[in-house]
Structure 1
Amino acid sequence: MLRVPYYYPSFQCTGSACRDNCCIGWEIEIDQQSFARYRNLPGTMGERLRQSISEAGGPHFLLHGEQCPFLNQEHLCDLILFAGEEQLCQICRDHPRFFEWFGSFQEAGLGLCCEEAGRLLFAQREPIAFLELEQSLPGEQKEAPPPLLDILFQARNTAFHLAQERTLSIEERCALLLDFADQLQSALDLNSPDLIPKLCKQAEDPIQRAALLEQLKQEACWEQESVFQGMLSFYQGLEPDRQSWMKKLRQLSVALPELLKLQSAFLAACQERNHEYEHLLVYFLFRYFLKAVFDLEVLPKVKLAVCSFLLIYLCDLSTFSGTGTLTSDQRVGNAKDYSREIEYSPENLDAFYLKSWEEDCFSLDALFSLLFTHKTKG
């Protein structure tokens, strides 16, 4: 069984129409099966392949400047033109798809570092739904599902419910998600997963939600600018993929006081598109929440979803400050830039998970205060 977002089967690479080609600026590793095939491929293309591959540190293509040696002047792949997509190495066939195996149960999605994946994510106003397909991924793992899978699967469904509760603001939903994750984490820390179904039921109760939100709002006392500056400082300390990203973060930090003054105008101009932030939350929950079945750390996964939304929101606010508008392409671009820098760097993801326990700006008190300082309509 393969579970995917409803738009997953619709994905098709836009090829030369892509404005940020994935064949540029990425190191392209070659799996062993493809490497063996390339070594034995006859003719001119085989010779060209062998001259374009380095084995140092594992097989990979030698970039020409920053681009793959098989990306031609029309921004099309010569390997595909030569023999079709089946000639590609595994990473090129898969990208931007991501996969997760939970025993015989599997999931797949489309990573936001691809602008077409972003366009598909944001295209529909309706809540994100999921499909269950009667197929298996290559390399299926045969071992039994992790013992906690069913319980955490139920908890993730509750998280989806909270993220898509459109009677609440996006910020209120984020706060409920964080509180829910904190309770889940406590249950896991106490080795009491049997408490989780009850926590799910409580989290979905409208009366209990309303009381909890009122309590959290009254206790919020941190100053918004200082929390955002702390977050920006953390992200500036990570290893960048592109220097343009570091420049953007520095600009956000300098301009932050003025940007925050523009929130009301920004939210008024984009109020019909807040479902896009909802979709962001669901994307991050889908991609990362269930990974807690392997390390028992669910709270950092939900903090990642919320903080990702907040930083992308800040990038959107900065874009709006320069033009007075935020186009769909600009929102896709901001999400793509963030995803490339954070999601596609295992080191940066690990750094976030670690510091989400330690940094003041990622504490629940700080995040609740930040969320309740500004409001958007659901």
Structure 2
Amino acid sequence: MRYTVPDYYKKFQCLAGFCPATCCAGWQIVIDPKSLARYHKVKGRFGNRIRNSVNWKEETFLQYEKKRCAFLNEENLCDMHIEAGPEMMCATCRKYPRHIEEFENEREITLSMSCPAVAKIILEKQEPVTMRTAEDDRQEEEAGFDFFLYSALQDTREVMLNMLQNRKYPVHLRMAEVLALAHDVQSRIRSGQIFEIETILTRYEKGEMALIRKLCAEKGRVHAEELLCLLDEWEVLDEHWKKDVAVWKQCAQSLHPGNIPENDKEQMVVYYLYTYFCGAVYDGDALAKAKMAIVSTLIWEELCRAEEAQKGEILSFEERVELAYRYSRELEHSDPNLNQMEVQMNTREETSFPRLLGILAARAEVDRNE
């Protein structure tokens, strides 16, 4: 088995009671079967508390005021951890904010942007992200796993990450090039010509696509405020989210240019692309995965721009981090929202290939002139 982690993986340290947004509230914490069986056997007063704090039908912890886990105390610490130790916690709580994507004989382990400490680590990183791997003797076979497609997706993602971290060009231009590559790769997947993907990657690596000249001739919207409408179709997790989105949508209509550092945008799109792109091995929709990464970055940019327009001043780094982990929570802590966004990548005019390419081209032109 091969394990892959980003180079900042070991930098994570839980903020515990000092966290500005505890991970023990706002979403249902699903309990794994082994932990449920263990909770049934705990004796004494604490055992009674455990059994009275679990929704056994839904296999989740009960939630109280403001969707706080039944074990989250007033100091924002976990009573289960305090009373019984970390080994008593369920798999979700032990692993978070670690996010694991599973493939045949591969485990890709990332840190979730939804955690404030992780969002800070990612956005403050100035160097390009590199991945580190380790292997052990474990082997597993997954019925029906398309290893040929998976290898092509891995190779494609590697080229995309190199593009995104090539700082000779504005970040929106890099994103546009990744979008174009995803579009070409998807056409080969759809036609069953996966063997041609290697040739496509070679062309992009050599720069033969002349995308820079092409994009300079494209016309599009400088801002992407129309993408905020996608959020209206999502399940709402944070009680303040819906009201804030309404304000952001209104403020995003201003001509305020925004002051988001190039590095922040790069780290954001790299995070989402690395986390989700190879999942296309299960549904064959590589273009939707690339769009999700790009659209998530554009939406976050719009939230920052709208917040600056509302406040009338440049956002601090901490404020940009907060918008990053709030957006991530609404998207990544909800399977319905992840599924809905993938549907939106394929069905909404705002996320069509020409529309997104136009937005990125216009933004790249602004980036050049700033």
- Give TM class, smaller chain: over 0.9
Identity %: 28
Structure 1's unaligned 5+ residue stretches are none
- Equivalence map 1:68-79=2 (5 Å): 68-79=69-80
CA distance in 2 between counterparts of 1:356 and 1:318 reads 23
Q: 2:225 aligns with which of 225, 228, 240?
A: 228
Secondary structure of the structure 1 residue equivalent to 2:4: strand
CA distance in 2 between counterparts of 1:61 and 1:223 reads 45
Secondary structure of the structure 1 residue equivalent to 2:108: strand
Partner of 2:99: 98
Deviation, 1:347, is 1.6
Partner of 1:62: 62
Partner of 2:329: 340
* Aligned length in residues: 362
Partner of 1:215: 214
Deviation, 1:135, is 5.2
For 1:345, the aligned partner's letter is S
Structure 2's unaligned 5+ residue stretches are none
- Equivalence map 1:298-313=2 (5 Å): 298-313=286-301
Distance 1:116 1:244, change over 3 A: same
Query: Does the Cα contact within 8 Å between 1:239 and 1:348 map onto a contact in 2?
Result: yes
Secondary structure of the structure 1 residue equivalent to 2:37: helix
Partner of 2:319: 330
Deviates more, 1:97-106 or 1:156-165: 97-106
Deviation, 1:356, is 1.6
- Equivalence map 1:361-372=2 (5 Å): 361-372=350-361
Partner of 2:251: 255
For 1:253, the aligned partner's letter is K
Query: Does the Cα contact within 8 Å between 2:54 and 2:62 map onto a contact in 1?
Result: yes
Distance 1:136 1:318, change over 3 A: farther
Deviation, 1:136, is 8.7
Deviation, 1:127, is 0.3
Deviation, 1:53, is 1.4
Secondary structure of the structure 1 residue equivalent to 2:301: helix
Query: Does the Cα contact within 8 Å between 1:217 and 1:369 map onto a contact in 2?
Result: no
Query: Does the Cα contact within 8 Å between 1:101 and 1:141 map onto a contact in 2?
Result: no
For 1:61, the aligned partner's letter is F
CA distance in 2 between counterparts of 1:136 and 1:117 reads 30
- Equivalence map 1:31-50=2 (5 Å): 31-50=32-51
Structure-2-length-normalised TM-score: 0.92
Partner of 2:146: 146
- Equivalence map 1:227-246=2 (5 Å): 228-229=225-226, 231-246=227-242
CA distance in 2 between counterparts of 1:320 and 1:132 reads 40
Query: Does the Cα contact within 8 Å between 1:103 and 1:146 map onto a contact in 2?
Result: no
Deviation, 1:323, is 4.7
Query: Does the Cα contact within 8 Å between 2:280 and 2:289 map onto a contact in 1?
Result: yes
Query: Does the Cα contact within 8 Å between 2:277 and 2:289 map onto a contact in 1?
Result: yes
Secondary structure of the structure 2 residue equivalent to 1:219: coil
Structure-1-length-normalised TM-score: 0.90
Secondary structure of the structure 2 residue equivalent to 1:376: helix
For 1:376, the aligned partner's letter is D
Query: Does the Cα contact within 8 Å between 1:228 and 1:361 map onto a contact in 2?
Result: no
Deviates more, 1:335-344 or 1:161-170: 335-344
Distance 1:277 1:188, change over 3 A: same
Secondary structure of the structure 2 residue equivalent to 1:98: strand
For 1:134, the aligned partner's letter is E
Distance 1:141 1:343, change over 3 A: farther
For 1:326, the aligned partner's letter is L
Secondary structure of the structure 2 residue equivalent to 1:257: coil
For 1:336, the aligned partner's letter is Y
Deviation per CA, 1:155-209, whole angstroms, max 9, x where unpaired? 1100101111101111101110110000000010110111111111111223x24
Secondary structure of the structure 1 residue equivalent to 2:132: strand
CA distance in 2 between counterparts of 1:27 and 1:332 reads 23
Partner of 1:162: 163
Query: Does the Cα contact within 8 Å between 1:236 and 1:250 map onto a contact in 2?
Result: no
Secondary structure of the structure 2 residue equivalent to 1:74: coil
Deviation, 1:141, is 4.6
Deviation, 1:17, is 0.8
Query: Does the Cα contact within 8 Å between 2:184 and 2:200 map onto a contact in 1?
Result: yes
Deviation per CA, 1:41-62, whole angstroms, max 9, x where unpaired? 1222111111111212x32222
Secondary structure of the structure 1 residue equivalent to 2:107: strand
Query: Does the Cα contact within 8 Å between 2:225 and 2:253 map onto a contact in 1?
Result: no
Query: Does the Cα contact within 8 Å between 2:98 and 2:110 map onto a contact in 1?
Result: yes
CA distance in 2 between counterparts of 1:354 and 1:22 reads 27
Distance 1:234 1:73, change over 3 A: closer
CA distance in 2 between counterparts of 1:240 and 1:79 reads 28
For 2:256, the aligned partner's letter is L
Query: Does the Cα contact within 8 Å between 1:161 and 1:204 map onto a contact in 2?
Result: no
Query: Does the Cα contact within 8 Å between 2:251 and 2:307 map onto a contact in 1?
Result: no
CA RMSD for the aligned pairs? Answer: 2.0
CA distance in 2 between counterparts of 1:69 and 1:59 reads 14
Partner of 1:376: 367
Partner of 1:283: 271
Secondary structure of the structure 1 residue equivalent to 2:211: helix
